[in-house]
A and B are shown apart, each in its own frame.
Chain A
Amino acid sequence: MSMMHLFQWFDATPISKVIRDSTYIFPVVEVFHLFGLTLLLGTVTVMSLRMLGMGMRRQSVYEVARNLMPWSIGAALLTIVSGILLFLSEAMKCYGNAAFPWKMGFLLAGIVLYLLWQRRVALPNSRMSKAQLAMIAILSLVCWYGVAIAGRAIAFV
């Protein structure tokens, strides 16, 4: 099965058709995509800045991460689920779109970064050096802002 067939299959699911046939479902789902993105980027920005020694310095890195990471994850899930719905309705538009692979690349990198490394920041017994924290923070900012910018670019390229 070629990549094109896969995208054609996504484009032809019953959900894809329902969203395409409706005037309102796509914009409403997109608004929820934006809600999720707002909370995700907001919390990621605050956590990353703290890991770089800026922002909420009266709290420890652990305190900030412990409090905000669950909201980042919830927001990411909302963004991803709504994003899958948007994708299904226009999979063939995404196929061949120059920005789409970049968006997926940044997304995958962000998820891998979280699973392998970043989630440990919110654990009480993780002993990470300043350099490690700074590296995670910068990678996290690049990944998630990259997803957002590449995502916005899909509409224009």
Chain B
Amino acid sequence: MSLFTICQWIQNSDIGTSIRESTYVFPLVEATHVLGLAVSVGTIAIVDLRLIGAVMTDEPVTDVIEQLQPLTLGGFLVMFLSGALLFWSEAARLYPSYSYRTKFVFIFLLGINALLFHFTTYKNVDQWNNDKLTPLRARMAGWIGITFWAVVIFMGRWTAYNLK
């Protein structure tokens, strides 16, 4: 059974079909996806901007990260679940899309970027918590975060234009 066959099966399932054919569910799920994206990526952007020294430089890095984390994770959950529903309804159409595949490559890379930062540079944040100019590796993590999320948004929007 190929991946494409699985995608066809997902798309043709009862739930997939009913989302796709509903007048209201698909637009509502898509709107939810955009709002989840705004809250999660919007707050991620604030953290990244703090890391590169562009915003809240008078506030400790840990204050920014710890206090925004619930919004980032909550927004991400909303974005992920609504995205899963959108995929459910169009899995076979999305399968061949290069922009859709590229989006997930970049989401994966963003995960690695976040984990690397969290388990290396952020471990000794006490030493640079109040610095306006954070260590090079923290600034790099911030720049990568901003640019890669921009790519994810670009690829996500592009996918809608290229569906056959």
Chain A residues in the interface with B (C-beta under 8 A): 27, 30-31, 34-35, 37-43, 45-46, 49, 55-59, 63, 67-68, 71, 145, 148-149, 152-153, 155-156
Contact = CB atoms under 8 A, between A and B. Distances in A.
Nearest to A70: B55
A19 to B, nearest CB: 14
A35 B150 contact: yes
Interface stretch (B32-40, B106-114, B118-126): B32-40
B27 A58 contact: no
A39 B46 CA distance: 8
A46 B34 CA distance: 17
A38 B38 contact: yes
Interface of B: 27, 30-31, 34-35, 37-39, 41-43, 45-46, 49, 55-56, 58-59, 63-64, 67-68, 70-71, 150, 153-154, 157-158, 161
Given A34-B153, A55-B67, A71-B55, A152 B30 contact: yes
Given A42-B45, A145-B35, A153-B27, 15 more contacts: A27-B157, A38-B38, A41-B38, A41-B39, A42-B43, A46-B42, A55-B67, A55-B71, A56-B68, A67-B55, A68-B55, A71-B49, A152-B27, A155-B27, A156-B27
Contacts of B154: 31
Contacts of B43: 42, 45-46
A149 B153 CA distance: 18
Most chain B CB inside 10 Å of its own CB: which residue of A39, A41, A42, A155: A42
A38 to B, nearest CB: 5
A47 B68 CA distance: 11
A153 B24 CA distance: 10
Contacts of A34: 34, 153, 157
Nearest to B44: A42
B8 to A, nearest CB: 26
B34 A45 contact: no
Contact of B41 (A38, A71, A148): A38
Given A27-B157, A27-B161, A58-B63, A38 B35 contact: no
B107 to A, nearest CB: 15
A45 B63 contact: no
16 contacts: A31-B153, A34-B157, A35-B150, A41-B38, A41-B42, A42-B38, A42-B43, A43-B42, A45-B38, A55-B70, A58-B63, A59-B63, A63-B58, A67-B56, A68-B46, A155-B27
